[in-house]
Amino acid sequence: MSTSDLVVPQGSEFQFTDESGRSIVGAVAETAHAVNPWVAVAYLAAGVLFILALRGLSSPATSRAGNRYGMIGMLIAVVTTLVTHFPGELFYGDTIVTSGESFQHFGPDWASFGEILAAIAIGAIIGLTTARRIAMTAMPQLVAAFHSLVGLAAVLVAVAAFLNPDAFGILGVSGDILPVSRIEMTLGAAIGAITFSGSVIAFAKLNGNMSGAPILLPARHWINLGTLAAILILTVMFTHSPVGGPGENPLFWVVVALAFAIGFLLIIPIGGADMPVVVSMLNSYSGWAAAAMGFTLHNTAMIITGALVGSSGAILSYIMCRAMNRSFISVIAGGFGADASSSSSGGGEQRPYKSGSAEDAAYMLEQAEKVIIIPGYGMAVAQAQHALREMADLLKEKGVEVKYAIHPVAGRMPGHMNVLLAEANVPYDEVFELEDINSEFAQADVAFIIGANDVVNPAAKTDKGSPIYGMPVFDVDKAKQVFFIKRSMGGVGYAGVDNDVFYMDQTMMLLADAKKMVEDINKALDA
Amino acid sequence: MDFISILSIFVLACFVGYYVVWSVTPALHTPLMAVTNAISSVIIVGALIAAAAAGTPAAKWLGLLGVTLASVNIFGGFAVTARMLAMYKKKEKAAPKAGGEA
């Protein structure tokens, strides 16, 4: 007799011998989801602690306490699960099944407590080592990698639930998985799979294993829409067809396979600088996947967390899209910046610009009263943040007021520049958001642009035909002087548009590697 | 719990999430992503149940793999968030090199 043949009325105990001759005793709960009230309270507490963890991030001062709340919440959730599932006795709803002599809870088909601890320990070592070693500039790819793990874990849990629905308490009276649970677990698996494959591609693009340029398949919109429609239709069909034994209905596997494929297809046409939106979106998906599995398990901690993370990622995606004046649909449709090279070469004749040396820049910076620094992704690539902070220190010693201005989409993930500046010991009260500092450029003597481009492009304000038209940008043209650190005059910004700031009378181009240039300026300032 | 109770928790939690996340300062958006990443690994609960109650060797190893993946995220996510948050400092009275005239 196999486990799949076993149909036991609710509220009764059972005993049978499986294929390998092992005798198994168990009981079926009166109601599938009756939970010990203390267990429910513990999961609720974990959920509340997670809310506090996010609440703490409203200011850097409270954020560290918030992070600790998050850790406590996770500890409570894990310990509660371990206590309820490894007590030497099993809780099945309100019926406690004492492990009889014939019940081999620690047999080869069940993970032992030791094996669980070993699995956690392996994860802990990998996680802690990575967290300690990772460079702050590599944070976007790390977050993408972490998202992929959540996605994959969600798929594994959904598959486990499909293979062993009884353990998850999702069997109906008929011995088949409840229809609502089927929807939940299929959606959980599908969203998890999209999160996984999408994040793997995002990681490869951010980490440079794959070109950041969009890869455009012909008819990709139709392929994507068709795949999404197929996932939804098959999910509905799965809900209406008998599951049969554990893992026997192929529809579930087809949905998971299609979801892996769509995650891949959705992200490959999206270009590198749109990654802040993609990473936020995948963050959101990982939350929805956790929430869907929370529905399957009727677990409040997972549902609350899933909802928090899901809304968090959605809000971040919205903020990023707003900061680029693009619709979410246009970002997801992808292809932006694909023709960068063609449009720049179409520009034709070379316009005159002024370039200067580090000494020229140092001299003028010393004379300034107020300097506003605008860092961009180029600063992260050149790892110039430490040199930049030294420059700011030297200038402050000379009585110059220095502020930093950060555009919401600067870098490859939301808040990327803030972290890099914090790493370089820049006090966070010297760092300002776009809307808070933009009016100050009129009083600034120098706008110091390092590794940014599109976020200072006045075409966003004036040129209706420009791809970045309508995007909020820094009013650097109002500053008396503009210093623009750029590797060469050849490249254009991500959006593939020329930047009038290069050719303004008050602009001095500092053409060099960002870190090298800032170090040279520091030498000149120190002299 | 019936479906409607669970749905109620979910919908209310979405609203809580909406207001809490809007109150997060933009300077901390990267730590926000790292910490949401860590807490979404509460999916480890599902993996633990799967490993604990697996009926076949395959299901057991799936569960254990899920536990490992989620723990990477939990430990890595919280640790990297803590590391980032430790870097956010206010203006110091006596900066290491600067004279303090800001």
Express each pLDDT in A7-19 by its tens digit: 444 445 556 565 6
∠ CA B78-B80-B86 to the nearest 5 degrees? Answer: 100
Note the pLDDT tens digit of each residue in A48-60. 999 999 999 999 9
Q: Assess if residue A396 is contained within a domain.
A: yes
Q: Assess if residue A409 is contained within a domain.
A: yes
Name which residue leads in pLDDT, A499 or B66.
Answer: B66
Can A454 be counted among the known catalytic residues? yes
Q: Which domain holds residue B79?
A: 27-87
Looking at the fold, whether A367 and A303 belong to one and the same domain comes out as no
Lowest mean pLDDT among A103-117, A443-457, A472-486, B81-95: A103-117
Q: Is there a contact between A307 and B87 if contact means CB atoms under 8 Å apart?
A: no
Q: Is there a contact between B90 and A393 if contact means CB atoms under 8 Å apart?
A: no
Residues of A in contact with B93 (CB under 8 A): none
Q: Assess if residue B12 is contained within a domain.
A: no
pLDDT class of B72 with cuts at 50, 70, 90: very high
Looking at the fold, whether A200 and A296 belong to one and the same domain comes out as yes
Q: Is there a contact between A146 and B37 if contact means CB atoms under 8 Å apart?
A: yes
Q: Which of A3, A110, A305 is facing B40, going by the closest CB pair?
A: A305
Residue A507 has pLDDT above 80, yes or no: yes
Q: Assess if residue B40 is contained within a domain.
A: yes
How many Å apart are CA A130 and CA A501, to the nearest integer?
Answer: 40
Q: Quick one: tokens of A218? A: 């012909």
- Mean pLDDT value across residues B30-57: 88
Q: Is there a contact between A57 and B86 if contact means CB atoms under 8 Å apart?
A: no
Note the pLDDT tens digit of each residue in A325-377. 888 887 877 666 544 433 443 444 567 888 888 888 899 899 999 999 999 98
Q: Assess if residue A382 is contained within a domain.
A: yes
Count of helix runs (H) and strand runs (E) in chain B: 4, 0
Instruction: Supply the pLDDT for residue A496.
Output: 64
Instruction: Supply the pLDDT for residue A30.
Output: 40
How many Å apart are CA A340 and CA A338, to the nearest integer?
Answer: 6
Name which residue leads in pLDDT, A470 or A497.
Answer: A470
Q: Assess if residue B7 is contained within a domain.
A: no
User: How far is A218 from chain B, CA to nearest CA, in Å?
Assistant: 33
Q: Are strands A431-433 and A401-406 parallel, antiparallel or unpaired?
A: parallel
* CA nearest neighbour of A413 among A215, A60, A144, A146: A144
Residue A1 has pLDDT above 80, yes or no: no
Q: Assess if residue B56 is contained within a domain.
A: yes
Q: Is there a contact between B26 and A153 if contact means CB atoms under 8 Å apart?
A: no
Residues of A in contact with B48 (CB under 8 A): 78, 81-82, 85, 116
Residues of B in contact with A290 (CB under 8 A): 40, 42-43
Q: Is there a contact between B55 and A428 if contact means CB atoms under 8 Å apart?
A: no
Looking at the fold, whether A206 and A323 belong to one and the same domain comes out as yes
Task: Please give the interface size between A and B, counted as residue pairs whose CB atoms are below 8 Å apart.
Answer: 409
Q: Which domain holds residue A277?
A: 137-334
Looking at the fold, whether A119 and A151 belong to one and the same domain comes out as no
Residue A104 has pLDDT above 70, yes or no: no
Q: Does A37 touch chain B (CB under 8 A)?
A: no
Residue A105 has pLDDT above 70, yes or no: no
User: How far is B4 from chain A, CA to nearest CA, in Å?
Assistant: 11
Q: Is there a contact between B39 and A109 if contact means CB atoms under 8 Å apart?
A: no
- Mean pLDDT value across residues B39-68: 86
Q: Does A115 touch chain B (CB under 8 A)?
A: yes
Q: Assess if residue B76 is contained within a domain.
A: yes
Number of domains forming the structure of chain A? 3
Q: Is there a contact between B55 and A167 if contact means CB atoms under 8 Å apart?
A: yes
Nearest residue of chain A to residue B81 (CA atoms): A67
Residues of A in contact with B42 (CB under 8 A): 46, 50, 73-74, 77, 290, 301-302, 305
Looking at the fold, whether A415 and A474 belong to one and the same domain comes out as yes
Looking at the fold, whether A118 and A141 belong to one and the same domain comes out as no
Residue A286 has pLDDT above 50, yes or no: yes
Residue of A3, A5, A55, A71 to mutate when probing chain B, most B C-beta within 10 A: A71
Question: Which element (helix H / strand E) includes B53?
Answer: none
Residue percentage of chain B with pLDDT more than 70: 87
Q: Is there a contact between A82 and B48 if contact means CB atoms under 8 Å apart?
A: yes
Q: Which of B20, B29, B43 is facing A55, going by the closest CB pair?
A: B20
Please tell me which residue in A454, A475, A477, A520 is annotated as part of the active site.
A454
Q: Assess if residue A132 is contained within a domain.
A: no
Looking at the fold, whether A519 and A386 belong to one and the same domain comes out as yes
Q: Assess if residue A177 is contained within a domain.
A: yes
Q: Assess if residue B83 is contained within a domain.
A: yes
How many Å apart are CA B59 and CA B32, to the nearest integer?
Answer: 33
**Which residue is listed with tokens 């707003």?**
A322
Instruction: Supply the pLDDT for residue A275.
Output: 82
∠ CA B68-B70-B73 to the nearest 5 degrees? Answer: 110
Q: Assess if residue B69 is contained within a domain.
A: yes
ipTM: 0.89
User: How far is B7 from chain A, CA to nearest CA, in Å?
Assistant: 8
Residue A277 has pLDDT above 70, yes or no: yes
Residue percentage of chain A with pLDDT more than 90: 44
Number of domains forming the structure of chain B? 1
B51, burial (CB in 10 Å: exposed 0-12, middle 13-18, buried 19+): buried
Looking at the fold, whether A121 and A141 belong to one and the same domain comes out as no
How many Å apart are CA A130 and CA A134, to the nearest integer?
Answer: 6
Q: Assess if residue A340 is contained within a domain.
A: no
- The partner residues of A507 in beta bridges, in order of sequence, read A482
Looking at the fold, whether A175 and A298 belong to one and the same domain comes out as yes
User: How far is A467 from chain B, CA to nearest CA, in Å?
Assistant: 25
- Strand, coil or helix: A483: strand
Q: Assess if residue B101 is contained within a domain.
A: no
Q: Does A334 touch chain B (CB under 8 A)?
A: no
Q: Which of B6, B54, B69 is facing A109, going by the closest CB pair?
A: B54
A232, burial (CB in 10 Å: exposed 0-12, middle 13-18, buried 19+): middle
User: How far is A53 from chain B, CA to nearest CA, in Å?
Assistant: 8
pLDDT class of A492 with cuts at 50, 70, 90: low
- Strand, coil or helix: B82: helix
Q: Assess if residue A229 is contained within a domain.
A: yes
Name which residue leads in pLDDT, A27 or B24.
Answer: B24
Instruction: Supply the pLDDT for residue A494.
Output: 64
How many Å apart are CA B93 and CA B44, to the nearest integer?
Answer: 44
Residue A100 has pLDDT above 50, yes or no: no
User: How far is B2 from chain A, CA to nearest CA, in Å?
Assistant: 8
Instruction: Supply the pLDDT for residue B54.
Output: 63
Name which residue leads in pLDDT, A97 or A180.
Answer: A180
Instruction: Supply the pLDDT for residue A233.
Output: 92
Instruction: Supply the pLDDT for residue A96.
Output: 40
Residue A3 has pLDDT above 60, yes or no: no
Residues of B in contact with A61 (CB under 8 A): 90
Residues of B in contact with A419 (CB under 8 A): 30-31, 84, 87
Residues of A in contact with B64 (CB under 8 A): 111, 115-116, 119
Q: Which of A298, A406, A413 is facing B33, going by the closest CB pair?
A: A413
- Mean pLDDT value across residues A498-511: 87
Residues of A in contact with B33 (CB under 8 A): 143, 279-280, 283, 312-313, 316, 413-415
Q: Looking at A127, A157, A182, which one is the last position of a domain?
A: A127
Distances (CA, A) of A295 to A265, A300, A301, A501: 28, 8, 10, 53
User: How far is A341 from chain B, CA to nearest CA, in Å?
Assistant: 31
Name which residue leads in pLDDT, A186 or A100.
Answer: A186
- Mean pLDDT value across residues A298-325: 91
Q: Does B4 touch chain A (CB under 8 A)?
A: no
Q: Does B8 touch chain A (CB under 8 A)?
A: no
User: How far is A226 from chain B, CA to nearest CA, in Å?
Assistant: 29
Q: Assess if residue A344 is contained within a domain.
A: no
Looking at the fold, whether A415 and A269 belong to one and the same domain comes out as no
Lowest mean pLDDT among A242-246, A457-461, A471-475: A242-246
Looking at the fold, whether A315 and A371 belong to one and the same domain comes out as no
**Which residue is listed with tokens 């548009």?**
A497
pLDDT class of A107 with cuts at 50, 70, 90: very low
Name which residue leads in pLDDT, A375 or A29.
Answer: A375
CB within 8 Å of chain B, chain A residues 130-159: 130-132, 134, 136, 139, 142-143, 146-147, 149-150, 152-154, 156-157, 159
pLDDT class of B91 with cuts at 50, 70, 90: confident
Q: What is the DSSP letter of A11?
A: T
Note the pLDDT tens digit of each residue in A138-171. 999 999 999 999 999 999 999 988 888 877 777 7
State the pTM of this model.
0.83
Instruction: Supply the pLDDT for residue B93.
Output: 56
